[in-house]
Structure 1
């Protein structure tokens, strides 16, 4: 609208010509015609300038491809992992569009990112639900995406056993909508955020990419279905596909800008790190450990805990190595399993709080032991976990939790 503003800034009374009183009547008709012509010309100029202004629909930085700039659509970019990935992409000079319905994400995280990268053409946020195919198609038609990193998903094992249909719709059906939009608009690079839950409970450890996928809960089953959609579609296209199956995520931005802030109503289903911190902060009376009779060294579940900074680095390396017509599937983990009891002990040390622990029966859909063999991603993407000190990762996350006891604030407060 800059061109229109400049035209309006011109004083109406300043003219480079004048008429005498004697000429006024005789030239009234021609004067009117001149004014009409001038008005018409100005109108045409305004339309042209508006159409070529950055704010006009379809002509913003986000709506056109720019040499040397990769425009990445990050679905679920307001969430824990998605926001950290967006931060890294922006630091690496990518252009990012976040699409999120904020059912699990935080607008406060988006505001932090916008404050860090306020320059035009760097970051935009679009509030939308991926289940709305019409809205998703409109987003793709109005933006020039070079790649998609698909994080958006509900992601709690326990919740998936209670609400299986919700999980199949949110994960599987929504992934299909994204794929259809990518196909319709010629976006040919997809980094898919999958999970080790697709493997179920393998007979052998560690888990390799060749380990049979036999998921035992709706979350893992829905993710595997999504992988199948992607792999089948890739066979008939020249799409570049990277599927990252990652393990249990912990930690936060080392510089304290972002952290994990799950909705209060989801604490029952959330990550063990969030439960530990809530107990340390006094939000919860203690920590509930579900399952002490697994066939592991101390009876509690064994998991591979990956720091979110490492996980994001894996996504960035996958994006850089994505090749048209090829599919890469990688485990993203440390290669080392740690028990829940070990995790709780590390959390106590990181927070300095003697957290009360209550031991309960197993959680439906859980498995005894899961940890990765990350050798393939090291060989092919030159990626390996750097933040492998469990206590240090928890200490970093704990610092953010202490400074953000209300997370990013309520969604309403963040919107004001």
Structure 2
């Protein structure tokens, strides 16, 4: 009995030792896992690395901004509920930047204060670019409460989360719609803000909240008021892919391309009796590549206790009829055009004076050839007729 017991003891000890080694190994692997508390690179600040939260980063402008930030070696977290954005855009970005610690995507609704607080608690953000918003003038007149909730209330949630977790830099996506229909052109940053539709009103309310909060904090705030955004990534990696059910509310460029592709029978131009040279609305069309460049320059120039407010446009107005002719040339399709009554909440003439952003951020629009911008966007649309659901999009 004694001899057999003595033979079993080393065997038992060996098993215990092996169990201890395996347990230690498992703990080591867990600690190296990004999901292990405290070890995720997104959850800690790192010298020389700026971690930017891009809200609405699956959308048209947000995805292009994320692409530019990643190209410039920023660390990026995208938060989007995909109500307007595209998971396909996220997949493209993930394939372009697969390295650990570069990009993460979080599916969440920023209208949920608890979810937003948890995201900020689990990540070490250095700055926020807040794009997430519904953004159609016509739709806002039909669903005003949705716009006030999505734009104004959600911005308040973001600000509360930033304040609670010590994130001090905000680049805010605003709009020229906050100016309404000014008496004088071009529009400067000093032009009175008198919005005439719920979209513009909701954005102005959000701006007011940001400005009031910034007075009692040491935040670095940059508010960028966009004019009409067109174009797409010059290398064809990303484009604009609005939901099919939102086509009637979407940008004129999307409607032009849909008509050129035969998705819709023709283009509907709303309003030909405005007090303009040809009776159609005049707008300032800014290429999305220039727009995201303005965001990066704003982030670079953001300073504590400072607020910057800038118009982002070319400084040149183009009529809707001019735009349609440029689109016909870009697509090489003789698009059928129907002229209808005005759209509710629209205004006759809006174009920017970009002098302030030129001077203070050293930013100038470079992609100012309307037909070229439309041609770039058309190439993406033609190769992605079903948006990011197209086979070519999945193979990028």
Shorter-chain TM band: over 0.9
1:353 to 320, 330, 333: 333
Q: Which residue of 1 aligns with 2:118?
A: 138
Distance 1:62 1:159 in 2: 36
Residues 298-317 of structure 1: CA deviation (Å, up to 9, x unaligned): 11100000000000000000
Secondary structure class of the residue paired with 1:295:
coil
Shift in Å, 1:136: 0.9
2:104 to 115, 121, 124: 124
2:382 to 391, 396, 402: 402
2:283 to 269, 293, 303: 303
Corresponding position: 1:288 with 2:268: yes
Secondary structure class of the residue paired with 1:97:
strand
Q: Which residue of 2 aligns with 1:279?
A: 259
1:114 to 85, 94, 99: 94
Distance 1:103 1:352 in 2: 33
Residues 249-288 of structure 1: CA deviation (Å, up to 9, x unaligned): 0001111111111110000000000000000110010000
2:227 to 244, 247, 251: 247
Secondary structure class of the residue paired with 2:95:
helix
Q: Which residue of 1 aligns with 2:206?
A: 226
Task: Give yes or no for contact 1:191–1:319 (8 Å, CA) kept in 2.
Answer: yes
Q: Which residue of 1 aligns with 2:369?
A: 389
Distance 2:17 2:27 in 1: 15
Distance 1:126 1:54 in 2: 14
Q: Which residue of 1 aligns with 2:311?
A: 331
Residues 145-180 of structure 1: CA deviation (Å, up to 9, x unaligned): 111000000000000000000000000111111111
Q: Which residue of 1 aligns with 2:56?
A: 76
Corresponding position: 1:94 with 2:66: no
Residues 57-89 of structure 1: CA deviation (Å, up to 9, x unaligned): 442121111111111110000000011111100
Residues 380-413 of structure 1: CA deviation (Å, up to 9, x unaligned): 0000100000011001111111100111018xx9
Distance 1:137 1:386 in 2: 39
Task: Give yes or no for contact 1:159–1:269 (8 Å, CA) kept in 2.
Answer: yes
Shift in Å, 1:114: 1.0
Shift in Å, 1:23: 4.3
Corresponding position: 1:205 with 2:185: yes
Distance 1:104 1:233 in 2: 28
Task: Give yes or no for contact 1:154–1:170 (8 Å, CA) kept in 2.
Answer: yes
Shift in Å, 1:373: 0.4
Distance 2:28 2:364 in 1: 53
Distance 2:34 2:93 in 1: 22
The 5-angstrom pairing of residues 158-173 of structure 1 reads 158-173=138-153
Shift in Å, 1:48: 5.0
Q: Which residue of 1 aligns with 2:320?
A: 340
Shift in Å, 1:35: 4.3
Q: TM-score, normalised by structure 2?
A: 0.95
Q: Which residue of 2 aligns with 1:16?
A: none
Q: Which residue of 2 aligns with 1:10?
A: none
Task: Give yes or no for contact 1:277–1:398 (8 Å, CA) kept in 2.
Answer: yes
Q: What 5-or-longer segments of structure 1 have no aligned partner?
A: 1-20
Distance 1:95 1:384 in 2: 25
Corresponding position: 1:259 with 2:239: yes
Corresponding position: 1:56 with 2:36: yes
Distance 1:392 1:49 in 2: 52
Distance 1:244 1:168 in 2: 19
Matched positions, count:
393
Task: Give yes or no for contact 1:58–1:143 (8 Å, CA) kept in 2.
Answer: no
Task: Give yes or no for contact 1:200–1:220 (8 Å, CA) kept in 2.
Answer: yes
Q: TM-score, normalised by structure 1?
A: 0.91
Corresponding position: 1:270 with 2:250: yes
Shift in Å, 1:37: 6.2
Shift in Å, 1:50: 1.9
